[in-house]
Amino acid sequence: MELSERKQKILQAVIDEYIGTAEPVGSRAISKKNELGLSSATIRNEMADLEEMGYLLQPHTSAGRIPSDVGYRFYVNSLMKRYQMSVDAVEKLQSIMAEKVSQLELIIKKASLITSNLTEYTTIVTSPKLNRAVIKKLELVNLGTGCVMVVVITRTGIIKNQTMDAQLSDLDVQHISEMLNERLSGLTADEITFDKIKAIEEEMEGKFDLQPKLLIGILNFVYETIDALDQTDIYVNNAKSILKYPEFSDVEKAREMLTFLENKDNLVKLIGDQSDGVDVKIGTENKFAELENSSLVTVNYSMGNKVVGRIGVIGPKRMNYAKVIASLDCISNHIDKILDQLYNTEGEG
């Protein structure tokens, strides 16, 4: 059954009011604050119809109404007013995002922080998978305590490092680093296969005074470090912001939500699905029971023409959807431009 124009206006007024107050909305509040030209009794009857149709809920017999998931969905799809970001906010965003554009990881962390500040909700950002990143330098660092650090630096400024137990002389470290750079520098991470590492191992055998088992272990560890470039890191900002919303005043609900946000695997699964444009999942539309009282808004960001990561905002179902969507759209566009510069630069060399 389609909603009449009058029902749509009343539903919009109820949701706008509830987003601002977090209190069930009555017909008198709607009649006073909105120029609908309708009596309180008429509005009350229409709200009863909207409840019967599944767009509104009445939490208590004597209380006003609150939106259902269906009501929020209709609001987001059809009723929500477009939010216009201020010129000052856009200029400030441009200024911050333009700083140190050669350090991709810093850009992603900044994007997470800026999104959280703009929306005042919890923000989740996945880092790019860097299997196409070009290796600029590989280095072994002798830590002098029976440990060696493998450092991988890409042309976009990403640094991955891991430490392994190995007793090497400074001269061995230097020679192995030189050999690795000679054979692997300039290749993309996905071009550095296990077979290529194996070939380097065979070439190096006999050139260094190292036990074969130790050399194999070092080169395998180098391969694992490079392979880690294809793993997704995830950054969470402002997780505790949920505590200021009455929807999470229940200690157990708040604890469950914070525990959920601490689990990287949950978050990767949560925002891992790619879709075009901004995607909104409301309450039970989300995969996880912990989010039945929350909404998730996500958007992709790209490097060149390839989607490489995702930005998400989690907040109560009565979040300011228009502002969140506008903020995410603006930020993802800025990230795209910066990463496009990095992508083109990397492609040149």
Mean pLDDT for the chain overall: 85
Q: Say if residues 56 and 46 touch (Cβ distance below 8 Å).
A: no
Q: pLDDT digits over 282-325, tens only?
A: 999 998 999 999 999 999 988 777 787 899 999 999 999 999 99
Is residue 130 scored above 70 in pLDDT?
no
- pTM score: 0.78
Q: What share of the chain is helix, strand, coil (3-state, %, to 5)?
A: 55, 20, 30
What letters, b where the CB count within 10 A reaches 16 and e where it falls short, cover 157-169? bbebeeebebebe
Q: Say if residues 343 and 272 touch (Cβ distance below 8 Å).
A: no
Q: State the burial class of residue 252 (Cβ atoms within 10 Å of its Cβ: 0-12, 13-18, 19+).
A: exposed
Largest Cα span, the chain: 93
pLDDT at res. 348: 41
d(CA 183, CA 192): 10
Q: pLDDT digits over 154-198, tens only?
A: 876 667 788 889 888 888 888 888 888 998 999 888 888 888 888
**Helix (H, G, I), strand (E, B), or coil: what is residue 315?**
strand
pLDDT at res. 102: 52
pLDDT at res. 65: 94
pLDDT at res. 16: 94
pLDDT at res. 104: 66
